[in-house]
A and B are shown apart, each in its own frame.
Chain A
Amino acid sequence: MTGSRRITYRDAVREALQEALRRDPRVFLMGEDVGRYGGSYGCSKGLLAEFGEARIRDTPLSESAFTGAGIGAALGGMRPIVEIMTVNFSLLALDQIVNSAATLRHMSGGQFSVPLVIRMATGAGRQLAAQHSHSLENWYAHVPGIKVVAPATVADARGMLWTALEDPDPVIIFEHAMLYNEEGDVPGGDSLTVPIDGAAIRRDGTDVSLITYGGSLKKVLAAADELAKEGISGEVIDLRSLRPLDERTILNSVEKTHRAVIVDEGWRSGSLAGEISARIMEGAFFALDWPVERVCSAEVPIPYARHLEIAATPQVPGIVSAVRRAMRR
């Protein structure tokens, strides 16, 4: 890529925030420790110095109130970016998101819209135990009236925010906490924004469709590498958008490969993987050579101990064996 740069996911998020704040005076960032502390994951370091307290707003520990205030400010003509430290704490703001942000447009007969962006970290992997390791993306993806995206690459972390801000409706961005230190390329030039409505094929393949998103993408790509050594060609689909789902890309792939393995860090019961599996069944049933396989988290609150956390969440060996099963190897 000409002029492409290698940066971390964290820096990509920061650059995207900075660009948005520079481009649009209606944009402001608010959340716990986004200012003086620099963001609990360091994504807003330096922004307070550049944009000042009015636009980089440290909030008290009041998830419901500041998320609701973000909804109100969006109604009032601003373009707020609300950072909820992690999805775990977003449960305190769930009412505002589900009962207000998601409903206002439809419930008002189309009179109001809520151009709000909510960012939050998600996922397990750092031994933070049950209350700090949730993957509840599917709870939000269940709800009409909001859009849900999960940038899995550095380029998407850099490019999705602006698109989300331009969207007239509420968009929730899930950043998997294990990604912040990952490095990746962002293109040179000015066109860093990316669409947020479609899935991406991250690896072409012919034998099996590996469908995933967010923090699991890396594991799935590693599994695909391993499978390639055995002569199994996996096509890796990164959903990118969890609501709406890019059904066409999924179905096209499955029609080609005839097999699907879905990898989702959420718990299996009621998971996004379950929804995708249903869509495949509805749209590509006769193309399937094998039942859709799912690799999800075990049905248990995520434990602290390292070996148990690993056992509870999707890992490369589990993905590889699910694919082997699907290939009847």
Chain B
Amino acid sequence: MSAPPDPRVHLDREHCLKLLRTMMLIRRFEERCAELYGEQKIRGFLHLYIGEEANAVGVMQALTPEDAIVATYREHGHALARGLPATEVMAEMYGKATGSSRGRGGSMHIFDATRRFYGGNAIVGGGLPLAVGLALADKLREKTPVTCCFFGEGAAAEGEFHESLNLAALWKLPVLFVCENNRYAMGTALERSESEPDFCRHAASYRIPAEAVDGMDVVAVEFAARRAAQAIRDGAGPQFLENRTYRFRAHSMFDAELYRDKAEVEAWKQRCPIKRFRSWLIETGVVHDNDVAALERDVEAEVEAAVAFAEQASWEPEADLTRDVLTTLTPGGRR
């Protein structure tokens, strides 16, 4: 078992390059997905994470390979930050057999058992009870992992949010709740969906320690996540982060964005987590322009390799349609 990550953030050059590279990889991956959607290579619903990269990347630094992750339909970034190969994630977007879910899930349902990545849930709020259960299993089996549950602020209006927070707190379960508050649930602005838009107060009402974080600042997110994860590992029970962030693109590819004005979007774009971190690194001399250029080439190559992989991958044979609806039991065996 790997050692729990150091609760402190070490901003050495190597770590900074890793944070920057992962955010850039997600950004490029998402931009490419949007193009491929236009070419109809990717179909169905496609929800991009552009603008929100600092959240998945920052939080993931606080997690070990033993920890579990539950995400939503806006999860490409979480999957990549968790270390799923871009090739497999892209093949999933294409619906190919070599995709992370054999092409059955698509953009909204990325899973990876080896990395304890439990999806990819497209029912708003649906992941929270699962996270509680994963944490319950760990607690009952006297294991120490943290279950990290990402969800949008829209989910906080669902009963499942409240029921899950209550259970997690009541049973002192090792869940890290990460509310990615991007201010809109589809076309519904936060102020129009919450009588109490301060999510830390919701958490506090269940006696869960909570912190609001600048979700456009990867270091701030990493710092808060390390502190919260450490508290969970120390036995303090569930912790809650409200990451204040923004999606730069439409909710999905079908959204005409009639509900917010361009000026607001532009203002948030000024706070782009990648630009901000990059300029800070350059100003402080931690990285140089040529490092950034090298990262750009590197990320571009990785995404193009993923596209090439997805293009040449094969489709699952139609004969396998009903495979895995239930477990195929081997004679005499029951798992």
Contacts and interface: CB of A to CB of B under 8 A. Distances in A.
Given A300-B321, A308-B316, A126 B157 contact: no
A250 B194 CA distance: 49
B95 A312 contact: no
B321 A298 contact: yes
Interface of B: 43-45, 95-96, 103-106, 108-109, 121-126, 154-155, 157-160, 185-189, 192-194, 255, 258-259, 315-316, 318, 321-322, 325
B26 to A, nearest CB: 21
A58 B103 CA distance: 35
Interface in A284-329: 298-301, 303-308, 311-312
A37 B104 contact: no
Contacts of B157: 60-62
A191 interface: no
B187 to A, nearest CB: 3
B188 A92 contact: no
Interface stretch (A104-112, A128-136, A253-261): A128-136
Given A131-B122, A311-B318, A32 B188 contact: yes
A33 interface: yes
Contacts of B187: 33, 36-38, 58
Contacts of B122: 129, 131-132
Q: Is the interface of A mostly helix, strand, loop or mixed?
A: loop
A140 interface: no
A40 interface: yes
Contacts of A306: 43, 95
26 contacts: A33-B186, A33-B187, A36-B188, A36-B192, A36-B258, A36-B259, A37-B186, A40-B186, A60-B157, A60-B185, A60-B194, A61-B124, A61-B188, A88-B123, A92-B160, A127-B106, A129-B109, A131-B109, A132-B45, A299-B322, A301-B325, A304-B105, A305-B106, A308-B95, A308-B104, A311-B318
A103 to B, nearest CB: 20
Given A36-B187, A129-B122, 20 more contacts: A32-B188, A33-B186, A33-B187, A58-B187, A58-B188, A65-B159, A92-B125, A127-B43, A127-B44, A131-B123, A132-B45, A300-B322, A301-B325, A304-B43, A304-B103, A304-B104, A304-B106, A307-B318, A308-B95, A308-B104
A308 B321 contact: yes
B325 A299 contact: yes
B325 A89 contact: no
Contacts of B321: 298, 300, 303, 308, 311-312
A252 to B, nearest CB: 37
- Which 4 residue pairs spanning A and B have beta carbons closest together? A37-B187, A304-B106, A305-B95, A60-B157
A304 B125 contact: no
Contacts of A132: 45, 108, 122
Range, interface on chain A: 35 or more
Contacts of A61: 124-125, 154-155, 157-158, 185, 188, 193
A64 interface: yes
Contacts of B95: 127, 304-306, 308
A75 B103 CA distance: 46
A37 B188 CA distance: 8
B123 A89 contact: yes
A88 B192 CA distance: 23
Contact of B121 (A63, A64, A131): A131
Which of A38, A60, A132, A305 has the largest number of chain B CB atoms within 10 A?
Answer: A305
Interface in A110-164: 126-132
A262 to B, nearest CB: 21
Contacts of A36: 187-189, 192, 258-259
Nearest to B93: A304
Contacts of B322: 298-300
Contacts of B44: 126-129, 304
Contacts of B318: 307-308, 311
Nearest to B255: A37
B186 A304 contact: no
A129 B188 CA distance: 24
Nearest to B96: A305
A303 B104 contact: yes
Interface string A19-41: 00000000000001100111010
Contacts of B185: 32, 60-61
Nearest to B97: A305
B315 A58 contact: no
B110 to A, nearest CB: 11
A130 B158 contact: no
B45 A128 contact: yes
B188 A60 contact: yes
B158 A304 contact: no
A40 B256 CA distance: 11
Contacts of A37: 186-188, 255, 258-259
